[in-house]
Amino acid sequence: MTEQRKYVVGITDHMIGSPDLEVEVLGREVEIDFFATTDETLFAADRLARLDALMVWGARLGPRSIAHLTRCRGVVRYGVGYEKIDIEALAAAGIPFANNPDYGTEEVADHAVAMILSLQRRLWEHDARARGYRSGWQVHSLKPLSRSNRATVGVVGVGRIGTAVVNRLKPFGFRILGYDPGQPPGHEKAVGYERVDNAGDLFARSDILTLHCPATEETRGMLDANGLARMKPGAILVNTARGELIDDLDALEASLRSGHLAAAAIDTLMQEPPGDHPLLSAWRKREDWLAGRLVITPHNAFYSDHAAVEMRQNAARTVRILLDEGRLRNRITA
């Protein structure tokens, strides 16, 4: 006799193989419908209509699909960001939505701090230029090169990850400024940073600027030509948050070429994989003017073997709680 499953949970797509970990967490009474695509146009209406819950990795989810989620109790995003999810359309359909904030905090914070320290010490630039030295050695030390306790780090977004970054940077002696209108008064005293109430002021005062905020109406394009111009001359920019925060590669290239921006490290871009652009071409070709000054990692700041497991298990547990108790943890409202 065929076993009757109690629930059907859809999974749109998956970065890491088949959803075996999710099966373990959700249990035998749950049938998994694995769509195996990020292309929303390929989500069949009849399959969507069967779902008691939907888990989304990299796919978009808009009104076209949401209209067919007629029995769905909730949608859960594997990651933290939900720019690709139309939560207003979900709300209109009466379907609650949750993200998955409690994974990868340590990894993103470590990644950002590694970028900060490496660029502040000019490690990548020393490495790139040392390959060509044929005479002398220590005399080729790059200047300027300041001590950590003489440098100011500005943190945009002092939530979970921003706070973890602050805590990691404090032992190095950096002066730390933080900008986050969403944090209550006194948060800066509890965590240990100087609160700045204006983003432009933070930009102007920071030797190193690190981004840890979501993409919102306020933050999208905040480091465009105007934002970059407000940064302190010779500053370093680090982005492990959202590609939309730095949406003008022309402006970024101009700032790096002029030297107004000393260096930049980026884990997330507007277009991924990145397309053609003169700045990206110079980076790919290791052009001398950019040597060691632009570092790009493939949107994997969140990743470790442990975080990958944690992310999948936590998202599946959120669905399991929803099915068992009718309660959606980490709920996001429109």
Active site amino acids? 242, 272, 299
Residue type, 146: S
> Three-state SS for 241?
coil
Helix ranges restricted to H, the chain: 20-26, 45-49, 63-66, 87-92, 105-120, 123-130, 160-169, 187-191, 199-205, 225-230, 249-258, 278-284, 305-325
Q: In what order do the strands lie in the sheet with 235-239?
A: 194-195, 175-179, 152-156, 208-211, 235-239, 261-266, 294-296
Q: Are 270 and 248 in contact (CB under 8 A)?
A: no
Q: Which helix (H) or strand (E) holds 331?
A: strand 331-332
For the CA atoms of 71, 328, 165, 215, the dihedral, rounded to the nearest 10 degrees, stands at 40
**Strands 235-239 and 261-266: what pairing?**
parallel
Q: Which DSSP string corresponds to 268-316?
A: --SSSS----HHHHHHHTT-GGGTTTEEE--S-TT--HHHHHHHHHHHH
- R_g (Cα) of the chain, nearest Å: 22
